[in-house]
Amino acid sequence: MGHPLDSRSLAPSMAAPAVRRVGAMRPFAWLRLGARDLAFLPGLSLGMGVLVSLAGLALMAATREATYLAPTLLGGFLLVAPFVAMPLYALSRQREQSAAPDSASALRAWSGNAGSIALFGLLLTLAYFVWERLAAITFALFFTEQLRHASNLPAALLLSGQSVTLVVAFVAVGAAVAALVFALGVVSVPLLVDRPVDVITAVLTSLRCCARNPAAIVLWAALIALLTALGFATFMLALVVIFPWLAHASWHAYREMVDA
């Protein structure tokens, strides 16, 4: 008889990591640690912030004549942010390991687990398409043809009396999609950068972090939303600092919730 298949060949490349419970107020500590990491290699960190800020300004310019597209495009902007932050996760790992700052290595952070990172990118792309369709449906339900082509949509909404309906509808739809995406990705990209795990393991680990630390996760999501809104309110200028700060802080959120 032939030798049976070695069960070790069927084992995953790495077991699912254990998830820790953290204190409800730990997100403030993550922000403090993120601010410390920002000074580790400030040129690269702030350079990534400048790129993100310029991308945000380009989106604002693109939606100037089509204001109704702004929520959809900004939603896509937020979905790709974790991938732009990968070099910053790598910098935080270098500092954690007491290594010298290496920008070239940080910029190649994706290469160690490129296949799984690409698959997670595909997952977020699908989420973006779902959000875009839901936003379009919401818009179609609440807007007349005249409003759809208004050059100043906010003013037109106020005059039509539909502004409250719009805000409620978009907040409800956007919050549902954002909550799902955040739960799937709160530690997924840092985990994929740090270890050779597959997408399913990364996503399930992220969901387990949320289930084990609901208070900390809600506070963390609120802080990210508040700081990101501040960046938008300053016409993307504050994002030069806020984006790398949040990226470095996200690395520490991952490190504290996921057992090494």
Within a domain: residue 44? yes
How many domains does the structure of the chain reveal? 1
- pLDDT for residue 98: 84
- pLDDT for residue 168: 74
Within a domain: residue 4? no
Bridge partners (DSSP) listed for residue 238: none
Collapsing DSSP to helix, strand or coil, 121 comes out as helix
Q: Annotate 46-65 with b (16+ C-beta within 10 A) or e (fewer).
A: bebbeebbebbeebeeebee
Within a domain: residue 50? yes
Within a domain: residue 16? no
- pLDDT for residue 8: 38
Within a domain: residue 144? yes
Within a domain: residue 15? no
Within a domain: residue 140? yes
Within a domain: residue 240? yes
- pLDDT for residue 241: 96
- pLDDT for residue 24: 97
- pLDDT for residue 213: 98
The pLDDT averaged over each successive group of 10 residues in the chain (260 residues) is 39 72 98 93 92 85 64 68 91 90 90 92 85 76 54 51 64 79 92 94 96 97 91 91 96 94
Residue 231: which domain range? Answer: 21-257
- pLDDT for residue 65: 61
Contacts 24+ apart (CB under 8 A), 63-67: 65/151, 67/150, 67/152, 67/153, 67/154
